[in-house]
Amino acid sequence: MTSTLNPAVGAALRDQQIELPSWAFGNSGTRFKVFAQKGVPRDPYEKVADAAEVHRFTGIAPTVALHIPWDKVADYGHLARHAADCGVALGTINSNTFQDDDYMLGSVCHPDPSVRRKAVDHLLGCIDIMDATGSRDLKLWFADGTNYPGQDDIRARQDRLAESLASVYRRLGGQQRLVLEYKLFEPAFYTTDVPDWGTAVSHCLALGDKARVVVDTGHHAPGTNIEFIVAVLLRAGKLGGFDFNSRFYADDDLMVGAADPFQLFRIMHEVVKADALRPEAGIAFMLDQCHNIEPKIPGQIRSVMNVQEATAKALLVDADALARAQQAGDVLGAHAVLMDAYNTDVRPLLAEVRAEQGLDADPVAAYARSGYPERIVAERVGGSQAGWGA
| Overall pTM surpassing 0.75 (yes/no) | yes
Please give the Cα distance from 311 to 303 (Å, whole number).
12
Please give the Cα distance from 237 to 281 (Å, whole number).
10
Is 322 part of a structural domain of the chain? no
Give the domain range for residue 35.
11-317
Is 239 part of a structural domain of the chain? yes
Is 37 part of a structural domain of the chain? yes
Is 303 part of a structural domain of the chain? yes
Q: What is the CATH number of the domain that holds 64?
A: 3.20.20.150
Is 160 part of a structural domain of the chain? yes
Please give the Cα distance from 173 to 126 (Å, whole number).
12
Quickly list DSSP for 84-133.
HHHT-EEEEEEP--SSSGGGTT-STT-SSHHHHHHHHHHHHHHHHHHHHH
Distance between first and last Cα of the chain: 48
Is 368 part of a structural domain of the chain? no
Q: How many domains does the chain have?
A: 1
Is 112 part of a structural domain of the chain? yes
Name the nearest CA neighbour of 144 among 135, 129, 154, 130: 154
Q: Do strands 191-192 and 177-181 pair parallel, antiparallel, or not at all (unpaired)? A: unpaired
Is 330 part of a structural domain of the chain? no
* Beta bridge partners of residue 179, listed in sequence order: 139, 212
Q: Are 174 and 210 in contact (CB under 8 A)?
A: no
Please give the Cα distance from 312 to 12 (Å, whole number).
9
Please give the Cα distance from 314 to 267 (Å, whole number).
9
Q: What is the pLDDT along the chain (390 residues), one digit of tens a residue?
A: 445 678 889 999 999 999 999 999 998 876 678 888 999 999 999 999 999 999 999 999 999 999 999 999 999 999 999 999 999 999 999 999 999 999 999 999 999 999 999 999 999 999 999 999 999 999 999 999 999 999 999 999 999 999 999 999 999 999 999 999 999 998 999 999 999 999 999 999 999 999 999 999 999 999 999 999 999 999 999 999 999 999 998 888 899 999 999 999 999 999 999 999 998 999 999 999 887 889 999 999 999 999 999 999 999 999 999 999 999 999 999 999 999 999 999 999 999 999 999 999 999 999 999 999 999 999 999 998 888 765
